[in-house]
Amino acid sequence: MKKIPLRKCTGCFEMKDKKELIRIVRNDKGEFSVDFTSKNPGRGAYICKNIVCLEKAEKIRGLERSFKTKVSKEIYEELRKEITNG
């Protein structure tokens, strides 16, 4: 039986299947991007594909805590667009 990789959402802190989450990645230059392939190199953090988790993560600075640095508003905007249109 194949093991399912689990990751923790930075909004609700629930462990979920990696495929159900959106990955945000910081590369070695310190640049952030939304990683839809989950294959980009760098430090990753995950968030559920729902607006409630995104807003909670933004409010409690979940991504900032994961990366231990400031995350730009553009990343939150890109995530918001992806979740509402996705």
Residue ranges and CATH numbers for the domains of the chain are 6-85 (3.30.1230.10)
Sign of the dihedral through C-alpha 27, 77, 85, 19: positive
pLDDT tens per residue across span 31-84: 999 998 889 999 999 999 999 999 999 999 999 999 999 999 999 999 999 999
Residue 25 has pLDDT above 80, yes or no: yes
Residue 86 has pLDDT above 80, yes or no: no
Do residues 46 and 19 lie in contact, with contact meaning Cβ atoms separated by under 8 Å?
no
pLDDT at 3: 87
Do residues 23 and 44 lie in contact, with contact meaning Cβ atoms separated by under 8 Å?
yes
Residue 2 has pLDDT above 90, yes or no: no
**pTM (2 d.p.):** 0.91
